[in-house]
Homo-oligomer: A and B are copies of this chain.
Amino acid sequence: MTLIAVGQLALAVGHAEANRAAARDAIVRAAAEGARLVVLPELANSGYVFDGAEEARGLAEHLTGPTVSGWTALAREHDLVIVGGFCERDDDGAVRNSAVLVDAGGPRAVYRKAHLWGDEPDFFVPGAQPPPVIETAVGRVGLLICYDAEFPEWVRIPALAGADILAIPANWPAGTSPAGERSALVVNVQAAAYANRVFVALADRCGAERGAGWTGGSVLAGPDGYPLAGPVLADRPVLLVADCDLRRARDKALGPRNDIHADRRTDLYRS
């Protein structure tokens, strides 16, 4: 069993030091609880509601900058795998909405969001590489960012590549759901877990920002699609933790004669 943590953080655009402190506090608390993998929100260094491309560029950091370096130091100190979203300035100077996975060895993979939401095209160059799957000490971790998870064919890529868990930094805009209904954003990632028999660790944010609110829907779901912790669905910082047997994700059987991946009709559609 592996204790997995999801940090729903209160972030604020432009408050880089406070945002880094919020992430650090969640990481240290997760380590104290015994977590081995910690997932943090999208754009955890910068905040989200930029007033323009220049602000986004000014808040972007290189992979060698203080945010990711700080996560690496914490990963080393606490023997953790950390996944977090950050506003990145890549080697070519392009601004990206990225997720990084770091462990004691440093950054292992960077993924750039391929499906941009709202005004993000004004700030970010979209990714053109598929979601990576990283073999780590805790298992195989696939990376997606927020709106990416609403494209089932994109979710399939890391799932078919053998991910045990999809780590998804997100900034889910606030929305309304009918009375008694769970947000469809959460329902959708439950279905992503279910349809692929993988764990999903989705880290949302909180903290209203320039008039924008958030769903605060952080959730840890198991390979049967049911939540193991969360969904939070509240505008407050929360550290979710759940003990996960990630090996369960390697068994795609649904019964003696069915297997959710092997039953794909690859004779009728692409693998």
Contacts and interface: CB of A to CB of B under 8 A. Distances in A.
A239 interface: no
A118 B258 CA distance: 6
Interface string A108-125: 000000110111010000
A53 B187 CA distance: 38
A153 B263 CA distance: 12
A264 B151 contact: yes
Contacts of A114: 265, 268
Contact of A226 (B184, B192, B270): B184
Contacts of A260: 150
Contact of A151 (B151, B187, B265): B265
Q: Would you call the interface of chain A mostly helix, strand, loop, or mixed?
A: loop
A269 B154 contact: yes
Interface in A240-258: 255, 257-258
Contacts of A152: 152-153, 155-156, 195
A177 interface: yes
Contacts of A34: none
Contact of A187 (B117, B147, B187, B264): B187
Given A130-B268, A225-B184, A258 B117 contact: yes
A181 B257 contact: no
A69 interface: no
Given A121-B257, A226-B181, A227-B181, A153 B150 contact: no
Contacts of A177: 226
A191 B264 CA distance: 19
Given A121-B257, A194-B187, A153 B156 contact: yes
Nearest to A119: B257
A186 to B, nearest CB: 9
Nearest to A173: B255
16 contacts: A118-B257, A118-B258, A121-B257, A128-B268, A150-B260, A151-B195, A151-B264, A152-B155, A152-B195, A153-B269, A154-B269, A177-B226, A184-B190, A184-B191, A184-B194, A188-B194
- The list of the 6 closest CB pairs from A to B, nearest first, reads A152-B152, A191-B191, A184-B225, A184-B194, A188-B191, A153-B269
